[in-house]
C-alpha cells in the first residue's frame, strides 16, 4: 500500500478548506472538502477526516457505516455549527474495499484492462451529490444530510484509488487523468511518485480554470 497526496492548493494564496487523512492501522483514507462559504468549515473538515479514518471497521457493514456517519454529522453540528463538509472515504476490509461518499467530492477506482498489464481503466466511480448549479445538495454537518452513498468492491490485483475535491474533479479531463495514471507501469510506485502524480492533477486543474481549493490523493493497493 502506497499513499500520495497534494492537498489544499490554491492559486490566490488564500487558505484552503480541504483535509486528507490516511490511517494505516485501520487501512482507511478520507478526503473532506469544507464549504468555503462558512469560515470554520476547514477546521470541521479536518476533524471529520481524522474521526472517520479512526473508525475500526472489521467487516463490510453498510448500515454500520451510515450510522457512524450520521453520528459524526450530529456531533459536527454541535461542535462546529454553521459549517459543512463533503466526505469521501475508502476502507480496506479483508478482501473488500468499502467506499463511501457524501457531497460533491469524487472517488474513483482504477484497475488495469488485463490483470497487471494494459492501461488503467475506471472500474468504479462513487456518486456525487450535485444540483443543477453544480453545488452540493448535501454535506456532513450542514442542514441537509439525507443519504450516505456506500458501496463495496472486491480486491483484485493492483489498483489505484483516486480521491479529488470538486475543483479538480470538475475541471480535469478523463484523458488527462489517464495520461497521469499511465506513469504507473509494472513497477510499484513510491510515495514520491504518487505525490508527483497528485501535483500533476492539481496543476492540470488550475490550467483548466479551477479557482476552487484543489486536492488530490492517490492510493496504490495490491490485492495479490
Partner 1 sequence: MSWRKWLKTDGFGKMPKPIPLKTMDTFADTVLIELKTATTESILSAIADKEPLYMRSILDDSYFVVDSLVIRPLDLTIFKEIENFFSNHEAISPDFRTQFFSQIIQQEYRSRRGGLAKVQPSLKPVFEFTPSRLDGETQDESFALSLKGRRNRFEVSVTLKGPIGHRKRESDTFINTAFGSASEGGDEARFTQDRKLRMHHAKIIAKDKRGITEKILALPIIIGREAAKIGSLGDRSAFDVDGKFVSRHQLTIFELLGSIYYLIPSSASLTLTNGEKVLRPNYLHRLESGEIHTLVCGVATDAENFKGERTNRGEYPEISIQAIFPESVPHRETPRPTAV
**Which residues of the shown chain bind partner 1 in the complex (CB under 8 A)?**
11-12, 33, 35-38, 41, 82-84, 104, 135-139, 142-144, 166, 182-185, 187, 189-190, 192-193, 196-197, 200, 203, 206-209, 211-212
Q: How far is the CB of 200 from partner 1 (least distance, A)?
A: 5
How many residues are listed for the chain in this entry? 224
Q: Would you say 5 or 91 has its CB closer to partner 1?
A: 5
CA–CA distance, 172 with 3 (Å, rounded to integer): 21
Strands (E), the chain: 2-9, 18-23, 28-33, 87-93, 96-102, 106-114, 117-125, 149-154, 158-164, 214-222
Q: How far is the CB of 131 from partner 1 (least distance, A)?
A: 9
Q: How far is the CB of 185 from partner 1 (least distance, A)?
A: 6
Q: How far is the CB of 10 from partner 1 (least distance, A)?
A: 10
In this structure, what C-alpha cell is assigned to residue 46? 479536518
Q: Would you say 68 or 77 has its CB closer to partner 1?
A: 77
Helices and strands of the chain, counted as H and E runs:
5, 10
Q: Which residue has the cell 489544499?
A: 8
Q: How far is the CB of 217 from partner 1 (least distance, A)?
A: 17
Evaluate whether 105 touches 73 at the Cβ level (below 8 Å): no
Q: Would you say 16 or 89 has its CB closer to partner 1?
A: 16
Q: Would you say 57 or 167 has its CB closer to partner 1?
A: 167
Q: Would you say 151 or 199 has its CB closer to partner 1?
A: 199
The radius of gyration computed from the CA coordinates of the chain, to the nearest angstrom, equals 16
Amino acid at each position: 500500500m502506497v499513499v500520495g497526496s497534494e492537498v489544499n492548493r490554491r492559486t490566490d494564496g488564500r487558505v484552503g478548506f480541504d483535509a486528507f487523512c490516511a490511517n494505516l492501522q485501520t487501512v482507511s483514507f478520507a478526503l473532506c472538502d469544507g464549504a468555503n462559504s462558512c469560515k470554520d468549515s476547514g477546521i470541521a473538515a479536518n476533524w471529520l477526516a481524522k474521526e472517520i479514518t479512526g473508525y475500526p471497521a472489521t467487516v463490510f457493514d453498510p448500515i454500520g457505516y451510515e450510522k457512524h456517519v450520521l453520528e459524526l454529522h450530529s456531533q459536527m453540528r454541535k461542535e462546529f455549527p454553521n459549517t459543512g463538509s463533503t466526505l469521501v472515504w475508502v476502507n480496506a476490509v479483508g478482501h473488500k474495499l468499502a467506499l463511501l461518499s457524501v457531497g460533491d467530492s469524487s472517488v474513483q477506482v482504477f484497475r488495469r484492462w488485463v490483470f497487471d498489464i494494459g492501461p488503467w481503466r475506471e472500474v468504479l466511480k462513487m456518486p456525487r451529490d450535485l444540483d443543477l448549479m453544480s453545488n452540493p445538495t448535501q454535506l456532513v454537518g450542514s442542514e441537509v444530510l439525507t443519504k450516505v452513498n456506500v458501496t463495496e468492491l472486491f480486491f483484485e490485483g493492483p489498483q489505484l484509488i483516486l480521491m479529488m475535491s470538486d475543483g479538480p474533479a470538475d475541471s480535469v479531463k478523463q484523458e488527462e487523468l489517464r495520461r497521469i495514471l499511465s506513469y504507473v507501469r509494472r513497477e510499484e510506485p513510491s510515495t514520491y511518485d504518487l505525490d508527483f502524480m497528485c501535483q500533476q492533477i492539481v496543476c492540470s486543474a488550475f490550467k483548466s480554470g479551477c479557482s476552487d481549493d484543489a486536492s488530490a490523493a492517490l492510493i496504490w493497493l495490491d490485492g495479490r
